[in-house]
Amino acid sequence: MPRGIPFTGEYLSRYLAAQKRWSEARDWRAKETEAGRPSTHSDFFRAHGLCPACAAAGIRLNENGVGFRTIGWNGNLPLYEECEACGGTGKIVTPS
Ligand SMILES: [Zn+2]
Task: Give me the sign of the Cα torsion angle 45, 37, 35, 93.
Answer: positive
CB burial string 59-83: b at 16+ within 10 A, e below? bbbeeeeeebeeeeeeeeeebbbbb
Host domain of residue 33: 4-81
Average pLDDT in the chain: 92
Averaged pLDDT for residues 9-26: 92
What is the distance in A from the centroid of ligand 1 to the CA of 32? 23
* pLDDT for the residue 96: 67
**What pTM was estimated for this model as a whole?**
0.82
On whether residue 15 sits in a domain, the answer given is yes
What is the distance in A from the centroid of ligand 1 to the CA of 31? 25
Looking at the structure of the chain, the number of domains it has is 1
Q: What are residue 88's DSSP bridge partners?
A: none
Q: What share of the chain is helix, strand, coil (3-state, %, to 5)?
A: 35, 20, 50
What is the distance in A from the centroid of ligand 1 to the CA of 27? 23
pLDDT tens-place string over residues 27-57: 999 999 999 999 998 999 999 999 998 989 9
- Asked whether the predicted pLDDT for residue 68 surpasses 80, the reply is yes
Measured CA to CA, the distance from residue 28 to residue 78 in angstroms comes to: 34
On whether residue 69 sits in a domain, the answer given is yes
Which DSSP symbol is given to 4? E
On whether residue 14 sits in a domain, the answer given is yes
On whether residue 95 sits in a domain, the answer given is no
